Protein backbone atom coordinates (compact mmCIF):
# COMPACT_ATOMS: atom_id res chain seq x y z
CA UNK A 1 0.00 0.00 0.00
CA UNK A 2 2.85 2.41 0.83
CA UNK A 3 4.32 1.80 -2.63
CA UNK A 4 0.94 2.49 -4.20
CA UNK A 5 0.62 5.77 -2.30
CA UNK A 6 3.89 6.89 -3.90
CA UNK A 7 2.39 6.57 -7.39
CA UNK A 8 1.82 9.89 -9.11
CA UNK A 9 -1.68 11.37 -9.14
CA UNK A 10 -1.77 10.77 -12.91
CA UNK A 11 -1.05 7.06 -12.42
CA UNK A 12 -3.73 6.78 -9.72
CA UNK A 13 -6.24 8.54 -11.98
CA UNK A 14 -5.37 6.14 -14.81
CA UNK A 15 -5.94 3.11 -12.55
CA UNK A 16 -9.18 4.58 -11.24
CA UNK A 17 -10.40 5.39 -14.78
CA UNK A 18 -9.58 1.89 -16.07
CA UNK A 19 -11.45 0.27 -13.17
CA UNK A 20 -14.35 2.69 -13.64
CA UNK A 21 -14.59 1.93 -17.37
CA UNK A 22 -14.75 -1.79 -16.58
CA UNK A 23 -17.56 -1.16 -14.09
CA UNK A 24 -19.52 0.94 -16.60
CA UNK A 25 -19.44 -1.97 -19.07
CA UNK A 26 -20.64 -4.27 -16.29
CA UNK A 27 -23.61 -1.96 -15.60
CA UNK A 28 -24.83 -2.47 -19.17
CA UNK A 29 -24.74 -6.26 -18.77
CA UNK A 30 -26.31 -6.07 -15.31
CA UNK A 31 -29.14 -3.88 -16.56
CA UNK A 32 -29.77 -6.17 -19.53
CA UNK A 33 -30.38 -9.07 -17.13
CA UNK A 34 -32.27 -7.13 -14.47
CA UNK A 35 -34.85 -5.76 -16.90
CA UNK A 36 -36.26 -9.29 -17.19
CA UNK A 37 -37.47 -8.98 -13.60
CA UNK A 38 -40.38 -7.02 -15.06
CA UNK A 39 -42.68 -8.46 -17.76
CA UNK A 40 -40.99 -7.14 -20.91
CA UNK A 41 -41.60 -10.59 -22.46
CA UNK A 42 -44.14 -13.34 -21.73
CA UNK A 43 -41.43 -15.65 -20.34
CA UNK A 44 -39.40 -12.95 -18.57
CA UNK A 45 -39.13 -14.94 -15.33
CA UNK A 46 -37.61 -17.94 -17.09
CA UNK A 47 -35.16 -15.75 -19.00
CA UNK A 48 -34.10 -13.97 -15.82
CA UNK A 49 -33.66 -17.22 -13.89
CA UNK A 50 -31.67 -18.81 -16.72
CA UNK A 51 -29.44 -15.73 -16.93
CA UNK A 52 -28.89 -15.79 -13.16
CA UNK A 53 -28.10 -19.51 -13.24
CA UNK A 54 -25.56 -18.93 -16.01
CA UNK A 55 -24.00 -15.95 -14.21
CA UNK A 56 -23.73 -17.83 -10.89
CA UNK A 57 -22.48 -21.20 -12.16
CA UNK A 58 -20.34 -20.56 -15.25
CA UNK A 59 -16.61 -20.91 -14.33
CA UNK A 60 -15.58 -18.04 -16.61
CA UNK A 61 -18.12 -15.74 -14.97
CA UNK A 62 -16.83 -16.78 -11.56
CA UNK A 63 -13.37 -15.61 -12.61
CA UNK A 64 -14.84 -12.37 -13.97
CA UNK A 65 -16.53 -11.82 -10.59
CA UNK A 66 -13.09 -11.60 -9.00
CA UNK A 67 -12.11 -8.87 -11.46
CA UNK A 68 -15.46 -7.18 -10.90
CA UNK A 69 -15.14 -7.00 -7.13
CA UNK A 70 -11.49 -6.05 -7.56
CA UNK A 71 -12.59 -3.24 -9.87
CA UNK A 72 -15.06 -1.96 -7.28
CA UNK A 73 -12.48 -2.06 -4.50
CA UNK A 74 -9.74 -0.42 -6.56
CA UNK A 75 -12.09 2.29 -7.85
CA UNK A 76 -13.30 3.13 -4.34
CA UNK A 77 -9.87 3.05 -2.66
CA UNK A 78 -8.14 5.12 -5.35
CA UNK A 79 -11.03 7.61 -5.41
CA UNK A 80 -10.81 8.11 -1.65
CA UNK A 81 -7.01 8.45 -1.73
CA UNK A 82 -7.13 11.04 -4.52
CA UNK A 83 -9.79 13.04 -2.70
CA UNK A 84 -7.81 13.01 0.56
CA UNK A 85 -4.67 14.10 -1.31
CA UNK A 86 -6.63 16.95 -2.89
CA UNK A 87 -7.85 18.05 0.53
CA UNK A 88 -4.35 17.82 2.00
CA UNK A 89 -2.91 19.82 -0.90
CA UNK A 90 -5.28 22.64 0.01
CA UNK A 91 -5.74 22.45 3.80
CA UNK A 92 -7.03 26.03 4.06
CA UNK A 93 -10.34 26.49 2.26
CA UNK A 94 -10.63 29.55 0.06
CA UNK A 95 -13.10 32.16 1.19
CA UNK A 96 -14.78 31.79 -2.18
CA UNK A 97 -14.55 28.35 -3.76
CA UNK A 98 -13.11 28.42 -7.27
CA UNK A 99 -15.55 25.84 -8.60
CA UNK A 100 -16.80 27.77 -11.61
CA UNK A 101 -14.63 25.67 -13.93
CA UNK A 102 -16.05 22.40 -12.61
CA UNK A 103 -19.25 20.74 -13.73
CA UNK A 104 -22.07 20.48 -11.22
CA UNK A 105 -21.62 16.70 -10.94
CA UNK A 106 -17.83 16.81 -10.54
CA UNK A 107 -18.15 18.85 -7.33
CA UNK A 108 -19.85 15.98 -5.51
CA UNK A 109 -18.13 12.89 -6.95
CA UNK A 110 -16.77 11.77 -3.56
CA UNK A 111 -20.18 12.28 -1.91
CA UNK A 112 -22.14 10.33 -4.52
CA UNK A 113 -19.38 7.73 -4.54
CA UNK A 114 -19.76 7.13 -0.79
CA UNK A 115 -23.55 6.77 -1.12
CA UNK A 116 -23.12 4.33 -4.02
CA UNK A 117 -20.64 2.37 -1.91
CA UNK A 118 -23.25 2.02 0.85
CA UNK A 119 -25.79 0.90 -1.75
CA UNK A 120 -23.31 -1.70 -3.03
CA UNK A 121 -22.91 -3.16 0.46
CA UNK A 122 -26.71 -3.41 0.86
CA UNK A 123 -26.98 -5.00 -2.59
CA UNK A 124 -24.35 -7.59 -1.71
CA UNK A 125 -26.12 -8.40 1.55
CA UNK A 126 -29.43 -8.95 -0.25
CA UNK A 127 -28.11 -11.17 -3.03
CA UNK A 128 -24.49 -12.32 -3.22
CA UNK A 129 -23.97 -12.86 0.49
CA UNK A 130 -27.22 -14.86 0.52
CA UNK A 131 -25.76 -17.07 -2.19
CA UNK A 132 -22.67 -17.51 -0.03
CA UNK A 133 -24.85 -18.46 2.94
CA UNK A 134 -23.73 -15.47 5.03
CA UNK A 135 -27.00 -13.49 5.12
CA UNK A 136 -30.67 -14.47 5.02
CA UNK A 137 -32.72 -14.13 1.84
CA UNK A 138 -35.12 -11.13 1.70
CA UNK A 139 -38.55 -12.15 2.97
CA UNK A 140 -41.93 -11.27 1.50
CA UNK A 141 -44.89 -12.74 -0.34
CA UNK A 142 -42.71 -14.73 -2.74
CA UNK A 143 -41.21 -17.96 -1.43
CA UNK A 144 -37.45 -18.11 -2.00
CA UNK A 145 -36.78 -21.70 -3.08
CA UNK A 146 -32.95 -21.65 -2.87
CA UNK A 147 -29.95 -19.37 -2.61
CA UNK A 148 -29.97 -18.82 -6.39
CA UNK A 149 -33.64 -17.79 -6.56
CA UNK A 150 -32.78 -14.15 -7.26
CA UNK A 151 -36.14 -13.48 -8.91
CA UNK A 152 -38.09 -14.16 -5.70
CA UNK A 153 -35.52 -12.20 -3.69
CA UNK A 154 -35.87 -9.22 -6.05
CA UNK A 155 -39.68 -9.53 -5.98
CA UNK A 156 -39.71 -9.40 -2.17
CA UNK A 157 -37.40 -6.38 -2.13
CA UNK A 158 -39.14 -4.31 -4.79
CA UNK A 159 -42.63 -4.95 -3.43
CA UNK A 160 -41.37 -3.13 -0.34
CA UNK A 161 -42.22 0.48 -1.19
CA UNK A 162 -39.53 1.92 1.08
CA UNK A 163 -36.88 -0.19 -0.64
CA UNK A 164 -38.13 0.76 -4.12
CA UNK A 165 -38.16 4.49 -3.36
CA UNK A 166 -34.72 4.29 -1.76
CA UNK A 167 -33.47 2.30 -4.75
CA UNK A 168 -34.66 5.02 -7.14
CA UNK A 169 -32.97 7.77 -5.09
CA UNK A 170 -29.67 5.87 -5.05
CA UNK A 171 -29.84 5.10 -8.78
CA UNK A 172 -30.43 8.80 -9.53
CA UNK A 173 -27.29 9.58 -7.52
CA UNK A 174 -25.50 6.91 -9.55
CA UNK A 175 -26.57 8.78 -12.68
CA UNK A 176 -25.02 11.99 -11.31
CA UNK A 177 -21.82 10.09 -10.58
CA UNK A 178 -21.73 8.53 -14.04
CA UNK A 179 -22.33 11.84 -15.81
CA UNK A 180 -18.93 13.18 -14.78
CA UNK A 181 -17.18 9.81 -14.49
CA UNK A 182 -17.73 8.84 -18.15
CA UNK A 183 -15.92 11.83 -19.63
CA UNK A 184 -13.38 11.94 -16.81
CA UNK A 185 -12.39 8.31 -17.50
CA UNK A 186 -11.58 9.11 -21.14
CA UNK A 187 -9.52 12.11 -20.07
CA UNK A 188 -7.55 10.07 -17.52
CA UNK A 189 -6.90 7.37 -20.13
CA UNK A 190 -5.42 10.01 -22.45
CA UNK A 191 -8.32 9.90 -24.93
CA UNK A 192 -9.22 13.56 -24.63
CA UNK A 193 -9.12 15.70 -27.79
CA UNK A 194 -10.95 18.80 -28.96
CA UNK A 195 -12.23 16.99 -32.07
CA UNK A 196 -14.01 14.12 -30.36
CA UNK A 197 -14.43 15.30 -26.75
CA UNK A 198 -17.88 16.79 -27.55
CA UNK A 199 -18.92 13.37 -28.90
CA UNK A 200 -17.59 11.63 -25.78
CA UNK A 201 -19.50 14.10 -23.61
CA UNK A 202 -22.70 13.49 -25.59
CA UNK A 203 -22.31 9.71 -25.24
CA UNK A 204 -21.60 10.17 -21.52
CA UNK A 205 -24.75 12.26 -21.08
CA UNK A 206 -26.75 9.61 -22.93
CA UNK A 207 -25.22 6.78 -20.89
CA UNK A 208 -25.74 8.55 -17.54
CA UNK A 209 -29.43 9.01 -18.35
CA UNK A 210 -30.36 5.75 -20.07
CA UNK A 211 -28.61 3.34 -17.67
CA UNK A 212 -30.11 4.82 -14.45
CA UNK A 213 -33.49 5.18 -16.18
CA UNK A 214 -33.39 1.50 -17.11
CA UNK A 215 -32.65 0.49 -13.53
CA UNK A 216 -35.40 2.81 -12.24
CA UNK A 217 -37.99 1.13 -14.47
CA UNK A 218 -37.86 -1.94 -12.21
CA UNK A 219 -38.89 -0.32 -8.89
CA UNK A 220 -41.31 1.97 -10.74
CA UNK A 221 -43.09 -1.07 -12.14
CA UNK A 222 -43.52 -2.55 -8.67
CA UNK A 223 -44.59 0.79 -7.18
CA UNK A 224 -47.30 1.11 -9.83
CA UNK A 225 -48.58 -2.46 -9.98
CA UNK A 226 -48.01 -3.68 -6.42
Summarize pLDDT for 64-78 with one digit per residue, the tens: 878 877 777 877 777
pLDDT bucket at 29, cuts 50 / 70 / 90: very high
pLDDT score, position 12: 66
- Does residue 23 have a pLDDT over 90? no
- Over range 14-24, report the average pLDDT: 79
DSSP string, the chain: -HHHHTS-HHHHHHHHHHHHHHHHHHHHHHHHHHGGGS-SSTTHHHHHHHHHHHHHH-HHHHHHHHHHHHHHHHHHHHHHHHHHHHHHHS-SPPSS---TTS-TGGGGHHHHHHHHHHHHHHHHHHTHHHHTTSSPPPPSSS---STT-HHHHHHHHHTSHHHHHHHHHHHHHHHHHHHHHHHHHHHHTT---TTTHHHHHHHHHHHHHHHHHHHHHHHHHHHHH-
pLDDT tens column, 146-189: 888 999 999 999 999 999 999 999 999 999 888 888 887 777 77
Average pLDDT score over residue span 114-130: 81
Give the model's pLDDT for residue 100: 45
**Architecture of the domain spanning 8-89+107-225:** Up-down Bundle (1.20)
Average the pLDDT over each of 13-22, 95-104, 113-122, 140-149 and give the range with the smallest value. 95-104
| pTM, two decimal places | 0.82
Between 79 and 148, name the one with better pLDDT: 148
| Residue 101 or residue 177, greater confidence | 177
Check residue 43 and give its pLDDT: 95
Amino acid sequence: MSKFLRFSSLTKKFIMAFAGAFLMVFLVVHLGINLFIIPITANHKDIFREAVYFMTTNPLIKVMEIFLFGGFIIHIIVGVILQIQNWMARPVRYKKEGWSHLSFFSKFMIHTGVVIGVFLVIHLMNFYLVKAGITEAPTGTARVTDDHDFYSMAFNLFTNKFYSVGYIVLIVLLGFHLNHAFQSAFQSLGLDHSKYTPFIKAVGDFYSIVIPLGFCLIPLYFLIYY
